[in-house]
Amino acid sequence: MGMPDMVTAEDIEKVGPLTRQQPRPHKSRPSYDGSRNSNRTILTTLLMSTILFIPVFLFLITTVAPESWKGNISAWLGSEIGEDNGGKGFESESESWRASSVQGDEYLIGVGKADITGPCVEINMMGYADPKQIGTGLRQRLYSRAFIVADPAHPADRFVYLVLDTQSGDTAIRYGILSGLQELGADYADYGHHNLAVTGTHSHSGPGAWLNYLLPQITSKGFDQQSYRAIVDGALLSIRRAHESLGPGRLSLGSTKVYGANINRSLFAYLANPEEERARYNLSTEDDGSVEKDLTLLKFQRASDGKNIGVLTWFPTHGTSVLGNNTLISGDNKGVAAYLFEKSVLGDETAAEGFVAGFSQASVGDTSPNVLGAWCEDGSGQMCSFENSTCSDGKSQQCHARGPLFRANDEGTSSCFEVGKRQFEPARKLYDLLNRKPNPVRGRWVKSFHAFHDMSNYKFQLPNGTEAVTCPAALGYSFAAGTTDGPGAFDFTQHDGNTSTTSPVWRVVSGMLKRPSEEQIACHGRKPILLDVGEMHSPYQWTPNVVDVQVFRVGQLAIIVSPGEATTMAGRRWKNAVGSEISMLFAEESGSVTPTVVLGGPANSYTHYITTEDEYNIQRYEGASTLYGPHTLAAYINVTLSLIPYLSSTASTRPPNGGPEPPDNSNRSLSFIPAVVHDAPPLFRGFGDVVQDVEKMYHRGEAITAKFIGANPRNHLRLEQSYAVVEKLVSTAAATSVASQNTDGLRGSELLVKALRGKQDTSGANDQKQWQTVRDDGDWHLIFRWRRVNELLATSEVEITWETESWATPGRYRLRYFGDAKSLTGAITPIEGISSEFELIEDRSG
């Protein structure tokens, strides 16, 4: 008896429309998959590498109630959310919200968020593996979001789950975080390999040059310490904030359907799975099982006042909404979803200050956010071929997947925001439902395990008794074909790429790097090996052979932490196996209920893809990128199940460290990334001078741009700060009202706002006016761009653009730039610039 194991979409439909109440002012802020253009450039740069390497909230609700995000976010969300109630947005169901009584077990819970935005210019972006995709600015800051759960009776039994706005987790990053935790002292002694999960949202729009192994370093010209330290230090800060916020609380678990945010980009391979297996997941035309439509949400509610401190969700869709020709840093669609959720609860009485929303990946391998499918951009108006994603010329270069708003000429930005919104909306509805109808997590146990496992030549038995073996890592010919999210180059194609269908030159290139042995070729079966990366160790390892195997358990929830991108069916098999094993082994545990199993990743390292054996044999991109041969998935499941007993409620030991540990290459990686030499303003000009000023008046919905004489942003990452802000002229009384609110526990750009308030421009003091920050570069619609004007003279310009929202409050504004200039002696000096004032008025139709 009691509550169902999960709150479902059907439950959501029964509760009817949400009711809303007046918003109030509030301050809170707390693949490398070789996709688009990747393989064209990877193979070119691999040739180069033979020569080069082998021999050697966000926030700013700062002002007054009319600017409240809570009141205005509904303008983005369409008529079904908010517009029917005057655009007031999400609200609690009752006029006077009261915390629901959650009857589940009590835990210690904490959340934290911190800035991890690395160098936004002059560094290759991570994901599409195109060396020409170099960062030129910032659309949205990147964050680490930390979630900690501990057993109050045994506080050492805990785990911390990180959601980073990065392409993946990583070995070097994880080592760096663990080292930093040790340096924090005895208070952090309970954190270690066994209970730290470092997951990435799989955004393809962040700076690269931070990964541990050589292969992803090739297109970024090596390893960049600044990019690496930004992630490590920010992740540590988010863990510290979560740890310092630990307190009694309860967890609630639910699921809902998300439509219009993912499709299967390798349906031909998915259909190779057994028909009877596929039929179990084919529920309707809209939910045909080819991808998972379920979003699982874990809600964190503190006991002291019943307020929620955060949510952690799992849903699969690739971070490839923003295209490979984009050069602005952002968190892609997962970053948008988290941004919208965190803004939506500002001023919401159900949510505590510092609320953190994590949108983690799930079985992402064969998913795409480009939901209109793959089309030939050759004027034919035809879809790409089903089997190998080519066009009429037999090549893949013209085959591109289309996002929901693909006609917008904005590098996929509009589609990205839309797909992020499509994840946020049902997640927010589920959150509201769980506030009214909690589905508590039950079972006091908080358990975890982690093990390193060598996947090269691992022998084990399949469930049918057959002996199987994995192989040293290798990538197939179809890896170089890319995907419909990002096609490759030359004559590589998915599914049928091999030595007989491609130019002989690639066989020569492959052999120059490392010719695979006959044993290796036989081990990989249907995969024609292009890059024998697992057996390439010069100047250091190209890809991992040692992988992370990890699972967390709290109550009925089990979290598989996957180091690779599991496909839809691979993820299902892995989750089903873990769920069955937990049910069998722990059936007698007091209060145990049917387990809910989720899969998060890519995490801790990056081991490319994990497909079923049937999908592997099709050898599309995902199969060709399954590193350890046809039995890769079976090996992951085998090792995971062997360690499940360590999740018992009575377990007091950890798995023995039986395998070799992967190397930490963070201090030995090569780098050919040039440093910033110095900055200088043009003759007779100064840093911060306005080069292009704003006009006197704009309508809402118009873009407002100013340009300044600037300096290289790599001089100072301005973590927890901003390069660009929008300031509004407001009354002193309104500013004082906001500034006087409690500022304890500020996080993120709240700290920037507090600092800015401390040095406000008081030029309007005589008329009781002063400038207040209302946007910063954590906000999606404020864009910061930088360009080098003259390399020899070291001059550069900064462009700040505010894409004014339809709901922005009319008033008087200005744009402000913050930077840091480097002298020839190496000294770093803060600089800033301010545009002229401008008036923002109602849109033309209004």
| Strand ranges in 186-307 using DSSP code E only, listed in sequence order | 196-200, 206-207, 247-257, 263-264, 294-302
Question: Quick check: 30 and 354 in contact, CB under 8 A?
Answer: yes
| Strand ranges in 189-236 using DSSP code E only, listed in sequence order | 196-200, 206-207
Question: Which among 612, 561, 501, 563 is positioned nearest to 266, based on CA atoms?
Answer: 612
Question: 548: helix, coil or strand?
Answer: strand
For the CA atoms of 713, 718, 720, 723, the dihedral, rounded to the nearest 10 degrees, stands at -60
CA distance 379 to 382: 8
CA distance 45 to 262: 32
Q: How far is the first Cα of the chain from the last one, in angstroms, to the nearest whole number?
A: 56
User: Which residues touch 282 (CB under 8 Å, ≥6 apart)?
Assistant: 288, 289
Question: Quick check: 741 and 29 in contact, CB under 8 A?
Answer: no
User: Which residues are known catalytic residues?
Assistant: 368
Question: Quick check: 149 and 251 in contact, CB under 8 A?
Answer: yes
CA distance 143 to 721: 12
Is residue 436 within a helix (H) or strand (E), and if so which, with residue range? helix 413-436
CA distance 267 to 367: 9
Cβ neighbours of 332 (radius 10 Å): 29
CA distance 791 to 95: 60
| Strand ranges in 140-293 using DSSP code E only, listed in sequence order | 143-151, 154-164, 196-200, 206-207, 247-257, 263-264
Q: What does the block give as tokens for 774?
A: 């209302």
CA distance 426 to 806: 23
Give the CA angle between residues 118, 124, 126 to the nearest 5°.
75
Is residue 509 within a helix (H) or strand (E), and if so which, with residue range? helix 504-514
Question: Quick check: 433 and 15 in contact, CB under 8 A?
Answer: yes
Give the CA angle between residues 248, 146, 210 to the nearest 5°.
165
Question: Quick check: 450 and 462 in contact, CB under 8 A?
Answer: no
Question: Quick check: 220 and 119 in contact, CB under 8 A?
Answer: no
H-type alpha helices, 258-331: 267-270, 275-279
CA distance 295 to 9: 10
Contacts 24+ apart (CB under 8 A), 642-647: 643/449, 643/451, 643/549, 643/551, 644/551, 644/578, 644/581, 644/582, 644/585, 645/585, 646/447, 646/449, 647/445, 647/447, 647/448, 647/449, 647/551, 647/553, 647/558, 647/582, 647/586
Strands 143-151 and 154-164: antiparallel
Question: Which among 805, 714, 718 is positioned nearest to 756, based on CA atoms?
Answer: 718
Strands 811-822 and 795-803: unpaired
Q: What does the block give as tokens for 450?
A: 């982690």
Give the CA angle between residues 148, 315, 486 to the nearest 5°.
120
Q: Which amino acid is at 796?
A: S
If you search the block for the tokens 């003259």, which residue do you land on? 790
